[in-house]
Amino acid sequence: MTDTHCPYCALQCAMTLTGPDDAAREVGAPVTVAGRQFPTNRGGLCQKGWTSAQVLRTPDRITAPLVRGDDGELHTTTWDHALDVVEDGIRRAWSRGGRDKVGVFGGGGLTNEKAYALGKFARVALGTPFIDYNGRFCMASAAAGANRAFGVDRGLPFPLADVGGAQAVLVLGSNLAETMPPSTAHLAGARASGGLVVVDPRHSASAALTDDGHGVHVQPVPGTDLVVLLALLHVVWAEGLADEEYLAARATGADQVRRSVAAWWPERAEQVCGVPAAQLRQVARLLADAAPHRGGGGAYVLTGRGVEQSTQGTATVTAAINLSLALGLPGREGSGYGAITGQGNGQGGREHGQKSDQLPGYRKIDDPAAREHVAAVWGVDPASLPGPGVPAVELLRRCGTAEGPQVLLVHGCNLVVSAPDADRVRDRLAALDLLVVCDFVPSETTRLADVVLPVTQWAEENGTMTSLEGRVIRRRPALAPPPGVRTELEVLHDLAVRLGVEHGFPTDASVVFDELARASAGGVADYSGLSHRRLDEAEAAGEGLHWPCPATPDAPHPGTPRLFLDRFPTPDGRARMVAVDHLGPSDDLRPDAPVYLITGRVLQHYQSGAQTRRVPALAAAQPEPFVEIHPLLADRIGVQDGEMVQVTSTRGTATAVAHVTAAVRPEAVFMPFHWAGEGSANRVTTDAVDPISGMPEFKVCAVQVRAVPTQAPAPAQTTEVMA
């Protein structure tokens, strides 16, 4: 039996893996999953978690390196030959254009150790500024907004369990009931008091939690969530509901924000966002009545990707933070603002060096003091470290061009499905001289690669993850990987040695973590008081430890489950309110594209579906992509439930089966993004980005929706049998 955590989302549900007669470490032995008591999941798991072990035994597991031959096909080869090809490609790129001709694209599912080693490898072994990761698609806007307001980015600056005691919870842009089902247990208190508010253009599974008097479903026009928040702020100040004493003591910028939202009275907002003015007032009063300064039972404002994956994502997060500050929520037990991290290690992955502008500990790469500290830990000259790179979308745009990498190393990401404007991404990857992908199952991206390197899965590796609440937890090996499979720490070590860096890339995860802890010391995300041993002890006690957790000379630091109780980590200790305004989507409705496309997830699948589409039960429950379409729109374009429709933007077309339902607004259609091929939603989405965070606008764009013409049966043909 091995205690570990789920391989999927940032809830990181605790589980126990067991093999027959405790022989799970034997190669090929089946593995069973059981939920384990932990503060976030309380022993529960979702369908993905219960079936997670099935991917460990998938028959198409990659177990040997693959190299593309002269015939254009991928062929099995040895590790030495595969690494020779990678080394040769890197050195040729260097000789032709310099160190920045090689780039790295990481993933939010990598352990802290692998994320740290990958960032170090890019800066030390490759010497390139071109590194970013798919977490840019996940938490970038929330991070930008939180850093600007609070001086720190931690998804939830409080334990998730705290939310369970709140009287009111406002959830914007997150369908928790399908993406993180065990988390909905923490909404029970708000539902019981009728205080759950879900903002979503669809009547999703999470929105349905507000039915029957449990709360309010706010259903705005896609792309107008910011208007909803501005109107709520208007009501809070217009009706004298703000916590003025808190604002005077703990925040700056309130007067500017108050003046800016004066223009967004509910009747005006209703004309833009489609939410009745009376409902906007109802929600503002509901939240205010729950706020501590009015004697309420506590309130939380939570944001997710639905409002953050936007060209005004940082502005929307800022408005949500402004609302929470106006009500006096952050820094008070039982109340607060938080952003719901999506990917398994979306939090830790961005803290330790995968982002283009960051060094370990959430240090800025252009800060001389940060460079000096990290370079000292790495044993290199600070001047040798490259400067900032570019965010993920821009990095992908530059691939194969004179301004970008000619070689790209991809770790933990299926870019061809998960990146926006997916057809252009495919073209850019095809333009590279060398594409190297580390993965454990075939994906749409490995099929494009020139070299595929087989790496371990979650239950075969040692390391740590950081959950959505900043809790650092342990991932432990339950079974041996297939022969020939290596950990990414081993891959990075071997490549570094080949590239002339003999030392500095250990393969023992606990040793890597200890170095990560030293590199993070004194940074915003300080892990210096943590180690594998200490985390094991903390989890044995049933909790885990939250960062920041600095090293201390006497008794070990207890970790920091709740931030901001005394002050905000800003120069003056106060939160910063920033006035923002609504601009609308980058790709808005027009005569040739009169319908909004919104995208999201379904219960059974995760991210690009590379893992979950291999699980028979999950694939059977949701076997294909679909388009949710309102009955009025379906009637207008002549589509029946179950017929095929085309969704077309200026970037591409996706084709999928129509699900006619009143759950979606009449001017919008919804598609999940877990599939490739003709049903890939990201063939249609725009790669326009938020100017501050670099996050692409996945969630809304303008499209044309048409019925797929029914083809007439082909004429009968005779087949001539030759003797």
Question: Tens digits of per-residue pLDDT, 429-451?
Answer: 999 999 999 999 999 999 999 99
- Statement to judge: residues 661 and 538 lie in one domain: no
pLDDT at 543: 78
| Per-residue confidence band for 27, with pLDDT thresholds at 50, 70 and 90 | low
* In the predicted structure, residue 21 carries a pLDDT above the cut 50: yes
Q: What would the pLDDT profile of 658-707 be if each residue is shown by its tens digit?
A: 999 999 999 999 999 999 999 999 999 999 999 999 999 999 999 999 99
374/438 same-domain check: yes
Read off φ and ψ for residue 217, nearest 5 degrees. Answer: -100, 115
DSSP state of 25: T
* Judgement on whether residues 145 and 132 belong to the same structural domain of the protein: no
Six token digits for residue 46:
């979702």
578 occurs within a structural domain: no
Determine the pLDDT at residue 20.
61
Confidence of residue 19 (pLDDT cuts 50, 70, 90): confident
C-alpha span between 86 and 408 (Å, rounded): 10
Q: How far apart are CA 178 and CA 176, in angstroms?
A: 5
Of 339, 368, 384, the position where a domain reaches its end is 339
Which residues on neighbouring strands pair with residue 299, listed in sequence order?
A: 168
Query: What average pLDDT does the segment 288-306 reach?
Result: 97
Q: What is the pLDDT of residue 630?
A: 98
pLDDT of residue 13: 96
CATH code assigned at 44: 2.20.25.90
| The pLDDT of residue 716 | 42
What pLDDT sits at residue 541? Answer: 85
pLDDT at 29: 65
**Which CATH number does the domain housing residue 215 bear?**
3.40.228.10
Arithmetic mean of pLDDT, 502-510: 97
Residues 532, 657 share a domain: no
What is the CATH classification number for the domain harbouring 128?
3.40.50.740
Overall average pLDDT of the 362-390 stretch: 97
Give the CATH number for residue 679: 2.40.40.20
**3-state SS, residue 338:** strand
CA distances to 335, 387, 608, 663 from 332, rounded to whole Å, are 6, 38, 38, 36
pLDDT band at 717, cuts 50/70/90?
A: very low
Task: Reduce the DSSP state of residue 439 to 3 states and report it.
Answer: strand
* Best CA proximity match to 146, nearest among 393, 346, 313, 376: 313
Residues 308 and 244 in one domain: yes
pLDDT on residue 374: 98
3-state secondary structure 134-192: HHHHCCHHHHHHHHHHHCCCCCCCCCHHHHHHCCEEEEECCCHHHHCHHHHHHHHHHHH
Asked whether residue 571 is domain-assigned, the answer is: no
pLDDT at 709: 81
Q: Which residues contact 706 (CB under 8 A, 6 or more apart)?
A: 637, 645, 646, 648
Which residue, 19, 36, 57, sits at the end of a domain? 57
In a domain, 42, yes or no: yes
Residue 121, judged by CB atoms within 10 A of its CB (0-12, 13-18, 19+), counts as buried
Decide if 551 is inside a domain.
Answer: no
Q: Which of 14-23, 164-173, 620-629, 643-652 has the lowest mean pLDDT?
A: 14-23
At 721 the pLDDT is 29
Alpha helices in 472-569 (DSSP H): 488-498, 509-520, 532-540
Interstrand relation of 653-660 and 595-600 (parallel, antiparallel or unpaired): unpaired
Q: Could you read off the pLDDT of 149-167 as tens digits, one per residue? A: 999 999 999 999 999 999 9
Domain span at residue 22? 2-57
Mean pLDDT computed over 584-609: 95
Q: What's the pLDDT score for residue 26? A: 54
User: Could you tell me if 300 and 424 lie in one domain?
Assistant: no
Task: Say if 445 falls within a structural domain.
Answer: yes
Mean pLDDT over 179-205 rounds to 97
508 and 422 share one domain: yes
Mean pLDDT across the stretch 38-58? 94
Boundary residue ending a domain (316, 339, 362): 339
Residue 712 has pLDDT above 60, yes or no: no
Q: Decide if 552 is inside a domain.
A: no
525 shares a domain with 413:
yes
Measured distance CA(253)–CA(381) in Å, rounded: 41
Within this chain, do residues 116 and 231 fall inside the same structural domain, yes or no?
A: no
Residue 723 in this model has a pLDDT that exceeds 60: no
C-alpha dihedral over 606, 609, 610, 612, to 10 degrees? 70
Residue 713 has what DSSP assignment?
A: P
- Asked, for residue 573, whether it belongs to a domain, the answer is no
Query: For residue 280, what are its two tokens?
Result: 């906007």
Say yes or no: 238 and 380 in one domain. no
Both 515 and 638 in a single domain? no
Residue 588 is assigned to a structural domain of this protein: no
* Cβ(364)–Cβ(357) below 8 Å: yes
Look at the chain and report how many structural domains it folds into. Answer: 4
Residues 219 and 630: beta-carbon distance below 8 Å = no
Sign of CA dihedral 518, 150, 219, 165: positive
Residue 722 pLDDT > 80: no
Beta bridge partners of 35: 15
Cα(466)–Cα(110) distance, rounded to whole angstroms? 10
Instruction: Note whether 464 and 361 are same-domain residues.
Output: yes
pLDDT of 342: 85
Percent of the chain with pLDDT over 90: 93
**For 168, phi and psi rounded to 5 degrees?**
-140, 140
The fraction of the chain above a pLDDT of 70, given in percent, is 97
Averaged confidence pLDDT in the chain: 95
For 686-698, write each residue's pLDDT tens digit: 999 999 999 999 9
